[in-house]
Structure 1
Amino acid sequence: MRSSGVAAVALATASLLAAPCAAKVDRLVSSRLSKRGLDSEGLYNVTILHTNDVHAHLDEWRAGRGTDCTEGSECIAGYARIKDKINEIRKEVPDAIVLDDGDEFQGTLFFAYYGGEKISYAVNEVGYDALTLGNHEFDKGLDELTHFLGNLTFPVVCANLKTNHTGMNALKNWKPYTIIERHNVGIVGLLTPDTKGTSSGAGPGTDISDPAEALTAAVAELEAKGVNRIIALTHIGYDKDIELAQKTRGIDLIVGGHSHTLIGDMEGAAGKYPTIAKNLDGEEVFIVTAYRWGEYLGKISLAFDESGKAVKYEGEPIRLSNTTAQDSKLDGEVAEWRKPFDELAKKVVGKSDVVLDQSTCQKQECTLGDVITDAMYEYRVAAGGKVDGAIINAGGIRATISQGDVTQGDVLNAFPFLNAVTDLTFTGAELWDVFEGIASASSNVSKHEVTSFVQVSSTLQMTWNPSNPVGSRLIDFKVGGQTLDKSKTYTITAVDFLATGGDYFWAPRTDFIALDTLDQILVAYFDKHNPVQAKVASRIVQTTATSPTTGGSDGTGAASVRAALSTAGAVLAVCVAGVALL
């Protein structure tokens, strides 16, 4: 049970919840009301506005693509719209809490050209109350991150991050949590522990602890200070947010980011806004997130009882379409910031006869994944490389490239990390285990949860059954049309991010040399294949088959375990840490 906070203040619920919305508004009287016999009188109301994973989309962008706006296209989002909409809501709810869930870095030329400089200016203009760190805030290292955070005029909260970086530790606005004094609300920040595998700049000296443990400690400190309305501001992903709610107690709301999950009452949504989970005490925790790239502004209003529990809500994600007004001052400043790189961005490097889609790359084969891996493979073959194929982590593909003329800006928006390619050798057994880990999202090679799907060149084919138990989902893998020979050695072209252990496909390696970057390679591919024509070509195939055609490494991979059991004529169910192997 929580101790009482400040005396409950009766506010006009109707005025707090009257802000305009662009989606169906969901209302609920919590089950706690009936349990406690409370009515709406005397409840303390707080409105929370939130963004996440803006990824340097300071300017408006083309809907469905993430690329620069073109004449006749629907132009959405941008910080000028975010600022204007928040200011509009503040006129009716002047004490709304405004939060951001991180991953402000990486994704457009604004970051590639300016680093965090213009991003810090834009978020200061919006006037957030708190921001937590995303994994991509570490992409340029802790010096760049320290400079960015030092320019912010509001608190940065992250309870599970420790570092030996002197500059970071000297920052006055970085803390585990902050208290919004006007509401006596605590905001606890949490960062995904996967940051070291998803950002190249989170190196030695940086430790990211378990979010649930860090949150529990922070809640205890806040409650000891008389704060009993608590929000977790997380960058761990939607599914992990649900798990976090179930593992903890004492929080009312999780405002999340990282997984780019769409929730609400719209087509393609993965869940309700808010999603409701039960904590360790069986009490409701509300979970919200606002998709990605600033397309939506999340808005939820909570009514708290005297014990600090949220007992009513009203909320909706607000889509910032081209009918949403833009703040003229910030819009003009963003236009000025574009000028140094706009000419480069507008340079046409080729043409595509089809949309090169990025939106499905994390789930299945996608056309942009096909094109970039073929470009990588052709680049190495043309240079004399004896390579068998190319792969890329789907998380490294960031935006769709539209049909028609393709610009340098389109290429850089799609591949903003400037990763270099490199050649790596694997035995067939190792390669099988790598792709089993990708299929199962849990790697026997890296001993870690895999944090991205994969895309492969035309010389490779992966057949998998996502319905099989973890550890037995890879059914077949072909190289050059031939089923993998586990005793043979293969050379695969990949990006240097993967080579160093990124996304946990395998353990970090040092036996490689970085070559040209993806943007250079893709521009050359457009020059050679202009216009580009691509279609999904059965490189990544889902099947209902349950048994693999070949095995992994002797005695170590899940596939070889299955083969040994089959030879013995036995069927054994093994469950280790929730991972089932047959």
Structure 2
Amino acid sequence: MSLSPVPRPVLRRFGNASAAILFLLALVLATAVRAEQADFALTLLHTNDVHAHIADFDAMGQECTADKESQGKCLGGAARLATAIAQARAEGGNTLLVDAGDWFQGTLAYSRFKDEALRAVTSRLGYQAMAPGNHEFDDGPAVLASFLSGVPFPMLACNMDASAEPLLAGKIAPYAVLDVGGRAVGVVGVANEDTASLSSPGENVRFMAAEEPLRAAVAELAAQGVNIIIAVSHAGFERDKVLAAAVAGLDVIVGGHSHLLLANGAPEAVGPSPLRISGPDGETACVVTAGSWGKYLGRLNLRFDAAGRVVEAEGDPRPMDAGMAQDPDMAALVATYEERLAPFRATAVGSLETALPLDRGDCRGAECLIGDMAADAVLAAAARHEARAALVNAGSIRAGLPAGEVTLGAVLTTFPFGNTLVVCDLLGADLMAALEHGVSLAHDPLGSGTGRFPMVAGLRYAFDPAREAGSRILSAQIQGPDGKFSPVDPAATYRVAISDYLSRGGDGYGMLKDRAKNVLLDGRTMDEMVAGYLAAHSPLAVALDGRIERKEKGE
């Protein structure tokens, strides 16, 4: 049976519709394929300022005992980070784990083992790139070189020149191109521009302002066809915002140094995560930072188009608290180091009637209990050298001390740097200049560089952080042999106790380096001085006594 022919006009109409439908389907499929190829999803995991906290710790920054663990009072630690990182990687997408510097320094683990423990822990966590923090240079180039020789990931800094330093030459590149899920991702490092004054990199390592080196690195990456570019920066939060606005081509800046948290809803956050900054090309750069000590694992979920533009960016740092399980393998590795530290932790050196907490905002912009005690301990140790006053930079204090028995381990955790006692003669004018420099950033106690804030003993001073540079110190008095205070005389000479770090001009105290006379190197370390002070005065009661008076404008 033959079929009647379909009328031609219908066939034409049907045929045209079919072709159109098929064409549209092909176009949709081709577009989907291109979109699938062009779209690139990336989970960026990030940390900063871990400061050698490989073991978990309590709210004071001290050792987490079994009791505290059972009560859910412990935070951080490499074992929690390991679990969170593994969970993110197990989701199956593209992940990139980076750090923005200062894994070194801050706990007994670093004080005793230097880079040994950190090499093992960071390698096992699986970092893919890291920036150098200023504390990476605290023990000079040698310890950093040892660390770099034992880790499988690159350390990056575009604004640092170590070519003249034999131990570091060729070991820190400006940037790296990483293959992440088949896509080239450029990672550029930024070192802290003030590292030479904040730490001990030596005369052969130079640090530059970051803008031009960063532009050059981005341009080189673009010339290689890399259109996804992430910066890991230890420049500090305020500088990171400036760099994001000044340098075109950056997609993300992972920041460190300021110990600040960007998060959505966390009470301690200083802004949202990510913080979006408009660059000079009109594109948006995302700034993220995850607090300090490994209390959070930063996470940013990104999606890029074919041109490398960020089309989606959302995420939040994840707290490393009691709700995060500890990876057993990492916990076992950390335990091997903790067992070796046990003898140091166990020795009691004295006791405190009340806790001496460390609040970064308070101790870097005002008088605080732990700062008073530290300065008192230094002045007591320097009494044999007839020192009348002591000056301690707040950044040298890294944790609080608990009430009750205080162990050597707790003291070493609080004062981990091994800074030694130096006594010198200073003109009153230079002492005033040191105080003026010390309060120069106190208007923003959470900002970069505020570790210079001066804790004092045998001195009293009042300041107004809002006044013009050179006029912030409103008054300063020094204690005499009779215990009475009198105004600092600019023309008089005073015997002052400081640390070897400050005597070298650390934290920008150039006047202590250049103008001190009759310098005596005592050699006792900060932990020795504090332990001795506690032993002599236990049970020690510490109370604020008004030695530092902060007066806001108009008061």
Name the TM-score, length of structure 2 as normaliser: 0.86
- Mapping for residues 142-291 of structure 1, pairs under 5 Å: 142-163=141-162, 164-171=164-171, 174-182=172-180, 183-200=183-200, 202-264=201-263, 265-291=265-291
Residue 68 in structure 1 maps to residue 63 in structure 2: yes
Secondary structure at 1:119's aligned position in 2?
helix
In the TM superposition, residue 212 of structure 1 has moved relative to its aligned partner by 1.2
Greater CA deviation, 298-307 or 214-223?
A: 298-307
* C-alpha deviation, 1:281, in angstroms: 2.5
Per-residue CA shift, 1:135-175, capped at 9, x if unaligned?
Answer: 1111122122111101111222111221212232254xx32
For residues 8 and 257 of structure 1, do their structure 2 counterparts lie closer, same or farther at Cα, with a shift above 3 Å needed?
Answer: farther
Q: For the residues of structure 2 that align with 1:225 and 1:58, how far apart are their CA atoms?
A: 38
| Residue 355 (1) aligns with residue 379 (2) | no
Aligned Cα root-mean-square deviation (Å):
2.0
Q: Does 1:501 align with 2:512?
A: no
Q: Which protein is richer in helix relative to its size? A: 2
**1:386 aligned residue:** 386
2:46 corresponds to 1:50: yes
Q: Identity of paired residues, percent?
A: 34
Q: Give the match for residue 489 of structure 2.
A: 485
- Which protein shows a greater Rg? 2
CA-to-partner distance for each residue in 1:217-270, whole Å, 9 max, x for gaps? 000000000111111110111111111112211101100111111221211322
In structure 1, distance between residues paired with 2:463 and 2:256: 29
Question: CA offsets per residue over residues 186-241 of structure 1, 9 Å max, x none?
Answer: 100010021111112x1111111211111100000000001111111101111111
- After TM superposition, which residue ranges in structure 1, 4 or more long, deviate above 6 angstroms? none
Deviation at 1:318, TM superposition (A): 0.5
CA distance in 1, matches of 2:202, 2:108: 25
From the superposition, tell whether residues 544 and 135 of structure 1 become closer, same or farther in structure 2 (CA, over 3 Å): closer
Quote the offset at 1:9 in angstroms. Answer: 6.6
1:8/1:44 contact within 8 Å kept: no
Superposition map of 1:439-478 within 5 A: 439-441=439-441, 452-478=451-477
Using the TM superposition, give the Cα deviation of residue 391 of structure 1 relative to its aligned residue in structure 2, in angstroms. Answer: 0.8
Q: Which residue type is aligned with residue 49 of structure 1?
A: L
Offset at residue 51 of structure 1 (A): 0.7
Pairing 1:365–2:367 present: yes
Give the distance between the partners of 2:342 and 2:33, measured in 1 at CA: 53
Structure-2 change in CA distance of 1:220 and 1:261 (3 Å): same
Q: How far is the alpha carbon of 1:503 from its aligned partner?
A: 0.1
The Cα of 1:335 is off from its aligned counterpart by 0.8
SS of corresponding position for 2:527: helix
Q: Distance in 2 between matches of 1:203 and 1:390?
A: 27
Per-residue CA deviation, residues 434-478 of structure 1 (Å, 9 max, x unaligned), is 222222239xxxxxx965333433421121111223332221111
Counterpart code for 1:476 = S
The 3-state SS of whatever aligns with 1:433 is: helix
Are the equivalent residues in 2 in contact too, given 1:367–1:535 (CA < 8 A)?
A: yes
TM-score, L = length of structure 1: 0.82
Query: What amino acid sits opposite 2:468 in the alignment?
Result: P
| Residues 389 and 495, structure 2, Cα contact 8 Å, conserved in 1 | yes
Specify every segment of 5 or more residues in structure 2 that has no aligned partner in the other structure, as ranges.
Answer: 1-31, 443-447, 480-484
Amino acid aligned to 1:69:
C
Residue matched to 1:577: none
Q: How far did 1:340 drift?
A: 2.0
Give the direction of change, closer, same or farther, for the CA distance of 1:451–1:362 in structure 2 (3 Å limit).
closer
Q: Using the TM superposition, name which of 176-185 and 392-401 deviates more.
A: 176-185
Contact 1:8 1:305 (C-alpha < 8 Å) held by counterparts:
no
How big is the shift at 1:522?
0.7
The one-letter code sitting in structure 2 at the alignment partner of 1:377 is L
How many residues are paired up? 500
- CA distance in 1: counterparts of 2:248 and 2:550, whole angstroms: 40
1-side partners of 2:371 and 2:33: how far apart?
Answer: 54
1:8, CA displacement in angstroms?
9.4
